[in-house]
Amino acid sequence: MTRYEEIAAELRRRLDADLTPYPVGSRLPGHSQLTAEFSVGRGVLTEALGLLALEGRIRIADRSGALVLDPAAPPQPVDVGGQVRRNELGYIFNAAAGHWRPTVPPTRRWLPAPPHIARLLNVPIGSDVLERHRIVGPDGHPVQIADSYLPADVARGTVLEAASTGPGGIYDRLEHDFGHGPITWHPRIGAAAATPDQARDLGVSRGTPLLVLTRISISGTSGRPVEVTITYLDGHRFEVTGQSITRDDTAVWPTTPATAENRPAAL
Amino acid sequence: MTRYEEIAAELRRRLDADLTPYPVGSRLPGHSQLTAEFSVGRGVLTEALGLLALEGRIRIADRSGALVLDPAAPPQPVDVGGQVRRNELGYIFNAAAGHWRPTVPPTRRWLPAPPHIARLLNVPIGSDVLERHRIVGPDGHPVQIADSYLPADVARGTVLEAASTGPGGIYDRLEHDFGHGPITWHPRIGAAAATPDQARDLGVSRGTPLLVLTRISISGTSGRPVEVTITYLDGHRFEVTGQSITRDDTAVWPTTPATAENRPAAL
DNA sequence: CAGTGGTCTAGACCACAAC
DNA sequence: TTGTGGTCTAGACCACTGA
């Protein structure tokens, strides 16, 4: 057990105690006080607090002390692949997002496609793609980053380069005005660490695990990807709920016989 | 731009170059060489390498140099909530896992339920729960941690405390032998940072974002949760694929009128 | 203006990996 | 045996927060 793990464990114990000196919503003591109490250098303390931040026990985001979070707070559910709704801003793919609005106008820029975007859009790496970057949340509190990417042959010179894309948003333009309807969406769910920029945008600690929701839009006419949106949410606050599985699904029952190859080495 | 961000950017540039000095599969130079080249202390270099590790560009897991990873490697798909299969070891909830086997016998222990487990199992915080901890992967390469939790009234004194739970595993025991069938499974998908223990088990860098697949088992007879399994996968290597969404799903079309309340502040 | 966390330096000892 | 990354110390300067 390293020193910073010991300190993290001790702070965790205090945060868990019934009459904790650090209740939810309060701030931890500063570095100077804690380094003195534990007789360690600042580096060790930073390591210990970093562990607690990665666990979602505290939030280190501004310079006003580490905020104590509620470890028992249940994650907010996010729908994926369920009912699709629509409002004047665009399509809504999960219920909670229906009450969210952009906190600032979206930023738009053309950039050479990085490898993972190029793969999703099926365009050459480095070819021009339009990025629309939005920060979204209820009444101004940012909870979600939504980055959309469109290939040049779809978006160049269109209203999709503008801040406002009109009623129904990007998808109404693509489906109704640009002849790409009906669109099929392909969702994927991943995890990534918040980059320094993303941590700033979302107000979370550096390196916070993020839930990454990727949605590829396939044109109904050409069959090609015309857009991809990548949504980032704080992994400590949100989780995706899936459809339940019942025993009916297990009716297909291809038992694999145990052989020398697949048998576990020792059980 | 901080010094460690500059260094990370420069190393990223080299990793991206066509004739990179650090090809995929090679090892970065050591701290002594890089600190000399960039004229920085070790702390700054550690920060820079830590950024690249969180991005999945390098893996810092043993003491043999930072391994260069392939940033264009597509994530391996993981199914959730689809077809359920079964082999002699237990139920298989995604196709890839069908070829995976435990790398070591599962460890079992009784522990007081931490808050998030207690909530999932609907038992009091601190009450006894049985933890079954498994590390699973193809032919011994660990790729997945699977931790199962069962309440005392379900598992105490049963074969579920043993290393081997018999043909069909936990779920056959619960459904066929303990009278909990048919079970309904409720999947959830989240993100979390690898703890030091998990990083060691999976052979990934510290703090690596993990995909967290939670599956709650609801008894068909009592309607109560009888088990929960939490699966952890390297977020840099895996992603969950969902069912595609077509325009038919948007037939329900409750357009929200723009009002003073929900209109964006500035667009 | 005092305190905070962010960043950085220049040392050091250690367990472990590769040769 | 040499070099690696992990850990730790004891300083320092800085921008920003909050009273």
**pLDDT tens profile B150-171:** 999 999 999 999 998 988 889 9
Instruction: Give residue A248's Cα distance to chain centre.
Output: 33
Instruction: Give residue B79's Cα distance to chain centre.
Output: 13
* Residue nearest the C1' of C18 (CA based): B64
In the predicted structure, residue A120 carries a pLDDT above the cut 50: yes
Angle (deg, nearest 10), helices A31-38 and A3-16: 110
Contacts of A240 in chain B (CB under 8 A): 188-190, 240
Q: Which residue do the tokens 């995604």 mark?
A: B94
* Residue nearest the C1' of C9 (CA based): B41
Is the separation of the CB atoms in A61 and A17 below 8 Å? no
Task: Give CA–CA dist A127/A110, Å, rounded.
Answer: 10
User: For residue B130, what pLDDT is reported?
Assistant: 98
What class is the B76-240 domain? alpha beta
In the predicted structure, residue A87 carries a pLDDT above the cut 70: no
How many angstroms separate the first and last alpha carbons of chain B?
Answer: 30
User: For residue A224, what pLDDT is reported?
Assistant: 95
Task: Give CA–CA dist B141/B143, Å, rounded.
Answer: 6
Token pair in block for residue B243 = 């069912």
Statement: the CB of B32 is under 7 Å from strand D: yes
Number of Cβ within a 10 Å radius of residue B36: 10
Å between B255 CA and nearest CA of chain A: 5
**Nearest Cα residue to A187 out of B244, B249, B237, B190:** B244
User: For residue B167, what pLDDT is reported?
Assistant: 83
Which of A97-106, A155-164, A207-216 shows the lowest per-residue confidence on average (mean pLDDT)? Answer: A97-106
Residues near A101 by beta carbon (within 8 Å), at least 6 away in sequence:
A89, A136, A137, A138, A139, A140, B262, B263, B264, B265
Contacts of B175 in chain A (CB under 8 A): 247
Spell out the domain ranges in chain B: 3-68, 76-240
Q: Which residue do the tokens 């992603």 mark?
A: B239
Distances (CA, A) of A126 to A116, A118, A130, A226, B21: 11, 8, 12, 17, 21
Q: Which nucleotides in chain C lie closer than 7 A to a protein CB?
A: 3-12, 15-18
Task: Measuring from the CA of residue B46 to each C1' atom, give the nucleotide at the shortest distance.
Answer: D5
Q: How many beta-carbon contacts under 8 Å exist across A and B? A: 236
The distance (Å) linking the CA of A30 with the C1' of D16 is 15
- Percentage, residues of chain B above pLDDT 90: 59
Q: Which nucleotides in chain D lie closer than 7 A to a protein CB?
A: 3-12, 15-18
In the predicted structure, residue A95 carries a pLDDT above the cut 80: no
For B:107-166, CB contacts with A below 8 A are 115-116, 119, 125, 140, 163-164
Q: On the CB side of B211, how many CA atoms lie within 13 Å of its CA?
A: 27
**Nearest Cα residue to A204 out of A25, A59, A70:** A59
Average pLDDT over residues B41-47: 93
Contacts of A119 in chain B (CB under 8 A): 72, 74
Residues near A13 by beta carbon (within 8 Å), at least 6 away in sequence:
none
User: For residue B254, what pLDDT is reported?
Assistant: 38
Q: In this structure, what are the phi and psi dihedrals at residue A87, rounded to the nearest 5 degrees?
A: -130, -170
The distance (Å) linking the CA of B7 with the C1' of C17 is 26
In the predicted structure, residue A100 carries a pLDDT above the cut 90: no
Fold type of domain A3-68: Arc Repressor Mutant, subunit A (1.10.10)
The domain at A76-241 falls in which architecture?
A: 3-Layer(aba) Sandwich (3.40)
Q: In this structure, what are the phi and psi dihedrals at residue A202, rounded to the nearest 5 degrees?
A: -95, -10
User: For residue B259, what pLDDT is reported?
Assistant: 38
Sign, CA dihedral A73-B201-A194-A121, equals: negative
Statement: the CB of B41 is under 7 Å from strand D: no
Given B190, B245, B267, which is nearest A187 (Cβ)?
B245
For B:7-36, CB contacts with A below 8 A are none
For A165, which residue in chain B has the nearest alpha carbon? Answer: B267
Contact A105 B5 (CB under 8 A): no
Contacts of B55 in chain A (CB under 8 A): 193, 195
Average pLDDT over residues B166-183: 88
**Nearest Cα residue to A212 out of A73, A116, A89:** A116
Task: Measuring from the CA of residue A46 to each C1' atom, give the nucleotide at the shortest distance.
Answer: C5
- In this structure, which amino acid lies at residue B68? V
Is the separation of the CB atoms in A68 and A58 below 8 Å? yes
Sign, CA dihedral A65-A66-A70-A73, equals: positive
CA geometry: angle at B75 spanning B11 and B9, to 5°? 15
Average pLDDT over residues B35-59: 93
Q: Model pTM?
A: 0.89
In the predicted structure, residue A93 carries a pLDDT above the cut 90: no
Task: Give CA–CA dist A217/B5, Å, rounded.
Answer: 34
Which of A116, A250, A259, A263 is most worth mutating to test chain B (most B CB atoms within 10 A of its CB)?
A250
Which of A4-8, B28-32, B250-254 shows the lowest per-residue confidence on average (mean pLDDT)? Answer: B250-254
Instruction: Give residue A86's Cα distance to chain centre.
Output: 21
Å between A87 CA and nearest CA of chain B: 5
In the predicted structure, residue A84 carries a pLDDT above the cut 80: no
Task: Measuring from the CA of residue B50 to each C1' atom, give the nucleotide at the shortest distance.
Answer: D5
Task: Give CA–CA dist A216/A218, Å, rounded.
Answer: 6
User: For residue B105, what pLDDT is reported?
Assistant: 81
- The confidence band for B256, taking pLDDT boundaries of 50, 70 and 90, is very low
Residues near A200 by beta carbon (within 8 Å), at least 6 away in sequence:
none
- In this structure, which amino acid lies at residue A67? L
In the predicted structure, residue A66 carries a pLDDT above the cut 80: yes
The distance (Å) linking the CA of A35 with the C1' of D18 is 22
User: For residue B1, what pLDDT is reported?
Assistant: 86
* Residue nearest the C1' of D17 (CA based): A64
Distances (CA, A) of B35 to A25, A83, A201, B50, B257: 40, 53, 31, 15, 59
